[in-house]
Amino acid sequence: KTSITLQAICDAKRKFIDVFTGVPGKVHNARVFKLSDVKQNLPQICGKNYHILGDSAYPIREWLLVPFKNYGNLGEMENRYNKKHCQTRVRIENAFDILKARFRQLLLQIDMHKVEKITIVCCCVLHNLCIDNNDVWDEDD
């Protein structure tokens, strides 16, 4: 039994707009990114007006912004950027938390031979339908 990586992009409402899954959890995020279709499709999707925020595991691209590496020498502007980046990127972490709270089976150790990645994708679709229908997740539920 092992974990399965879910790489996802969400919007401001925490709806998933792209998901990629099925890779074992031990695989590094940069490798997962290389395996996903989103690497090829995002330049066209984002164009010149939009950007995706990624964590430090991802490579910086014109359309993929990551935080500055902090070796203790960042200036005020870089620190401010990193803070804003983190405050904005937390939405995907919230989306993952809500997804796992709604569909608790995702918290279980998954036998990849018994659970197909379509199960995880379906949970993401149902999560989006909940948001579309104003079924807002309450942490006390």
**Contact (Cβ atoms closer than 8 angstroms) between residue 40 and residue 18:** no
Top-confidence residue, 119 or 85: 85
Top-confidence residue, 111 or 39: 39
Q: Is the pLDDT of residue 112 over 70?
A: no
**Contact (Cβ atoms closer than 8 angstroms) between residue 92 and residue 8:** yes
Top-confidence residue, 91 or 61: 91
Give residue 8's pLDDT: 94
Question: What is the number of H-type helices and E-type strands within the chain?
Answer: 4, 4
Helices (H), the chain: 29-35, 38-46, 76-102, 117-132
Crossing angle (nearest 10°) for helices 117-132 and 76-102:
100
**Contact (Cβ atoms closer than 8 angstroms) between residue 38 and residue 20:** yes
Pairing type for strands 4-10 and 16-24 reads: antiparallel
The number of angstroms, rounded, from the C-alpha of 79 to the middle of its chain's C-alpha atoms is 23
- Please state the pTM of the whole predicted model: 0.85
pLDDT in tens, 15-35: 999 999 988 888 998 899 889
pLDDT in tens, 83-103: 999 999 999 999 999 999 999
Tokens of 112: 């990849």
Q: Is the pLDDT of residue 47 over 80?
A: no
CA-CA distance, 63 to 131, in Å (whole number)? 26
Q: How confident is the model at residue 59 (pLDDT cuts 50, 70, 90)?
A: confident
Top-confidence residue, 97 or 136: 97
